[in-house]
Amino acid sequence: MHEPLPVSRAVTFGTARLLPDVDRRRAWLLTVDGAPQSYVDLAEPTHLEFEYTRRIAHVIDTARPPGPLDVLHLGGGALTLPRYTAATRPGSRQHVAELDAALLALVAKELPMPEGSGVTVSAGDAREALEAAAPAGADLVVADVFGGARVPAHLTTVACGRAAARALRPHGVYVVNLADGTPFGFLRSQLATLAAVFPELCLLAEPAVLRGRRFGNVVVAASRAPLPTAELARRAAADAFPARVVHGRALHRMTGDAQPVQDASAVPSPEPPAGAFSIG
C-alpha cells in the first residue's frame, strides 16, 4: 500500500496543505500558510491532537441534554469538532459556517464526512451565520474562527455575544476559542464582553498559559444556565494535556476592570509571537 502524500492547494485566504501523520495511517494535519488549523483522524474521529480541541470536547461531552445535540459551528477547518460530535453524540444535527469556500471544497474532496453524519456546511461569514440562525435552535454554538492566527474583530463584541445568546436554547452554551498572552488584555476584554451577555462563565487553559509563561489558546464557555464546572475541572485535570478551569470569584479577579467590547471599538486578537503556532 502506498503511503499517503501531502496535498497543497491555493484557497481563498492562503495556501492550504494537508500533511499525513506518519504514525496514524488515516490522520491528517491541515495548515494554512504554515499555521496549524485542524488535525483529523478519519479512522478515529474521537482522537483529538490539539489541546484546545480537547477542552472544547470536554464542554461538548458535558453539554445538555444527553444524547444528540443541535450545534452551530463558526469556523470549519477540516471539521474536527463536527466529526467528534457526530461520533460521540450520534444523531446530532450540526451546521458549519466557514468563510473560505475553497477550503471547504478541499476538505470535502480529500477528507469527506461519512454518509449520514448529520453535518451540513455553508460558505459565509461567521457573524452573519450567527445572526441568521433560528432563535433558540441550538444547544451549542462553537466559535473557532481565526483570520490567519487572529480572532476577527467583529466576533469579539457584545453584539456578537447577544446573537449567540439569541441562537441558543436556555440551557445552551457558547464556547469560544481565543488566543492571548500576558498581560491578557484581549482575554480580559473578552471575559467582560461575555459577562455582559451571559451570567455564567468559565475558562479552560493550560497552567503555563494562565501563568503568563507562553502565548496560547484559552477556551471560554458561557451560558445563561449554570455550567458543570466541577465535571469540567475533573475532565480537564485528568486529560493527557492537563488544564485548569477558572470560574466564579477567580474569574472575576482575572477580568478586573476590563470593559465590554462594542462593535465601534473592536480590534482583532493580538498577533501571536513569531513561532507561537507555526510549524516548519
Examine residue 274 and state whether it is found in any structural domain, yes or no.
no
Examine residue 187 and state whether it is found in any structural domain, yes or no.
yes
Residue 86: phi and psi, rounded to 5, are: -60, -35
Examine residue 229 and state whether it is found in any structural domain, yes or no.
yes
pLDDT for the residue 280: 38
SS3 for 124-179 is CCHHHHHHHCCCCCEEEEEECCCECCECCHHHCCHHHHHHHHHHEEEEEEEEEEEE
For the segment 34-82, what is each residue's pLDDT rounded down to a tens digit?
889 999 999 999 999 999 999 999 999 999 999 999 999 999 999 999 9
Examine residue 280 and state whether it is found in any structural domain, yes or no.
no
Looking at the 3D structure of the chain, how many domains does it have?
A: 1
CA–CA separation, 113 and 248 (whole Å): 39
Examine residue 272 and state whether it is found in any structural domain, yes or no.
no
pLDDT for the residue 149: 84
Examine residue 9 and state whether it is found in any structural domain, yes or no.
no
- Cβ contact 176:195 at 8 Å: no
Examine residue 196 and state whether it is found in any structural domain, yes or no.
yes
| DSSP-derived secondary structure for the chain | -PPP--EEEEETTEEEEEEE-TTSTTEEEEEETTEEEEEEESS-TT---SHHHHHHHHHHHHPSSSS--EEEEE--TT-HHHHHHHHHSTT-EEEEEES-HHHHHHHHHHSPPPTT--EEEEES-HHHHHHHSPTT-EEEEEE---BTTB--GGGSSHHHHHHHHHHEEEEEEEEEEEEE-TT-HHHHHHHHHHHTT-SEEEEEE-HHHHTTSS-EEEEEEEESS---HHHHHHHHHHSSS--EEEEHHHHHHHHTT--PPPGGG--PPPPPPTTSS---
Examine residue 77 and state whether it is found in any structural domain, yes or no.
yes
For the segment 218-247, what is each residue's pLDDT rounded down to a tens digit?
999 999 999 999 999 999 999 999 999 999
Q: Buried (b) or exposed (e) across 6-19, using 16+ Cβ within 10 A? A: ebeeebeebebbbb
CA–CA separation, 152 and 274 (whole Å): 19
- Which parts of the chain sit beneath pLDDT 50? 278-280
Identify the CATH number of the domain in which residue 64 sits: 3.40.50.150
Task: State which residues form the domain around 258.
Answer: 44-265
Which pairing describes strands 70-74 and 93-98: parallel, antiparallel, or unpaired?
parallel
Predicted TM-score (pTM) of the model is 0.95
| DSSP-derived secondary structure for 185-203 | HHHHHHHHHHHTT-SEEEE
